[in-house]
Structure 1
């Protein structure tokens, strides 16, 4: 255990009548939490079993009670304890589509699984599931919301809040969380969103004080433009990068097949509406193919145009193709089948304990 002067006590989580002190480290500093075995045990079967087991040797003590050295990060443990003692803090965690959620709450989510704090685990799992669209209709609604965000602000690299995608879901961190916490439901939408973002546009690098100068294969300088999405590319594992590359390959093939099956308009010139729309399909990786298909499908060609019939056929194919594309994301990106693991015997309609309740008693 660290020396007394090296221990930081979390005052609002250090109860005079606490029955156990939990020690955990963060950034080289030891933090102490004096809490109640009854509170932890009432929410977590792991804690309940740990405190119920007879010890072969006498437990270490600190400040007159048992003490336990926890292997977890102190910041994550603090978030977990705060959620148990101050349930209102959960409301901020459940903020709708917080773009930082996958990064900010990863620790507490993983601890809720590790210590089987079932209620908290279910609440956070439901939040992440709700954030990411599971149907094409939900995806379209989310894109409508994003389209309404202002894209007119030119960013200053010392003012990261001016990036419009600070208010949008960040797919790379969501993928990392989904893999670690077994949340396959959010992977299809997250991988597709990531496929529409240039790998040169890195979330953290562009927000640094001195963003790096990037060039393409021909030496042209790549410049971030207002409204362009960024991603935390460094969070992707090699296997997830392979999934992304596989998905981009299939998306390109899908677009090429739509183009090949569309048929050709009789005029077939560079000014032909159908020709122009078919070219949109073939712009390659990082384009939002769902958006392109929707734009083509929404194109209205006057009946007297010579390309009317051909364009009508292409538009119909594109609208139908959007549903097929969405349904095949798991296959395209090589993702696991989605299996709802929430069909268990535990009720989801429960709340964290009232901090004024009986379980917060002196032991």
Structure 2
């Protein structure tokens, strides 16, 4: 080992991960961490190999500790090391966490083969995206019991797509692609402008194709309002329920501009909705038809984006998280 190197003023200690009894200094970008070589080696055979591999030329040192440089981002290394060295950070589901922690821990636990953390991170990640269709009374197609807040920016969805490809978790991709399409404009704008240099060409083409199909499903999602023209068993005054359904269709057209690519959330059975004025028989029939329509769209979602069907994706998820 060479002698101690001069301290680079551009390097910043990560104080919460600087242990005086740590025997190794890890550098990621301009951040340095002083941690236990033994603990890292026990958690990861890859780190064990890194520490035991002969160094040529001999490694540099700082404070008498060898320096190991990683090519990973400092942000990812920080949350990954915190998950290893701080038992209260990144606790198992249903403990709350956030997207940055999930991405960092999952990427590096996958890369460095830390199996228990990889599984824990996959459980957290999967809690944010269902593989079963939403029920009719849910006003969102996202789970309500996820351990982290859904992303709100296009860049976060892009990060999730890259993560799913990197760590082989394709079961999150149908709802991720769906939300990307629903929340960020027309397929033409989203595909050609926002994501041209951010997605792989394969994923970009899948996204463009699926987004177009998804937008076309909006009319399918609304057909329950006008087909059939008359509902068997209707107990309302002659023609009254049909008029209410047409009013509801006119009402929902106002929202089409904002939800033109969001067929799973295009209509809500809620107080104030025109459809609430139909008779009880028509109401239950409409509710059931709308639910069936949503389920049909949900079932088609993976195929729209060139992914395996839900049953296969769920098998992958179950095999990964146990």
Q: Distance in 2 between matches of 1:184 and 1:146?
A: 17
What is the aligned counterpart of 2:20 among 16, 39, 58? Answer: 16
Report 1:293-308 matches (<5 A). 295=269, 299=276, 301-302=278-279
Q: Write the deviation string for residues 155-194 of structure 1: whole angstroms up to 9, x where unpaired.
A: xxxxxxxxxxx96443742443333433212222222233
TM-score, length of structure 2 as denominator length: 0.69
What is the aligned counterpart of 2:260 among 258, 265, 286? Answer: 286
**Any conservation in 2 of the 1:294–1:318 contact (CA below 8 Å)?**
no
Q: Distance in 2 between matches of 1:79 and 1:328?
A: 36
Alignment RMSD: 4.3
Residue 60 to residue 167, structure 1, CA distance change in 2 (3 Å) = closer
Write 1 or 2 for the structure with the bigger share of helix: 2
Please give the secondary structure, in 1, of the residue aligned with 2:72: strand
Q: Distance in 2 between matches of 1:103 and 1:186?
A: 16
Q: Write the deviation string for residues 210-233 of structure 1: whole angstroms up to 9, x where unpaired.
A: xxxxxxx9xxxxxxxxxxxxxxx6
Is 2:178 aligned against 1:192? yes
Is 2:99 aligned against 1:102? yes
Residue 138 to residue 80, structure 1, CA distance change in 2 (3 Å) = farther
Please give the secondary structure, in 2, of the residue aligned with 1:90: coil
Aligned to 2:292: 320
Q: Distance in 2 between matches of 1:108 and 1:41?
A: 17
Q: Distance in 2 between matches of 1:278 and 1:169?
A: 31
Aligned to 2:59: 59
Please give the secondary structure, in 2, of the residue aligned with 1:72: coil
Is 2:273 aligned against 1:273? no
Stretches of structure 1 that go unaligned for 5 or more consecutive residues are 148-165, 201-216, 218-232, 349-363
Please give the secondary structure, in 2, of the residue aligned with 1:134: coil
Stretches of structure 2 that go unaligned for 5 or more consecutive residues are 232-237
Aligned to 1:247: 210
Deviating above 6 A after TM superposition, structure 1's stretches of 4 or more consecutive aligned residues are 144-147, 266-269
Q: Distance in 2 between matches of 1:47 and 1:139?
A: 49
- Higher relative CO (CA 8 A, sep ≥ 6), structure 1 or 2? 1
Q: Distance in 2 between matches of 1:142 and 1:120?
A: 33
Instruction: Tell me by how many angstroms 1:46 deviates.
Output: 0.8
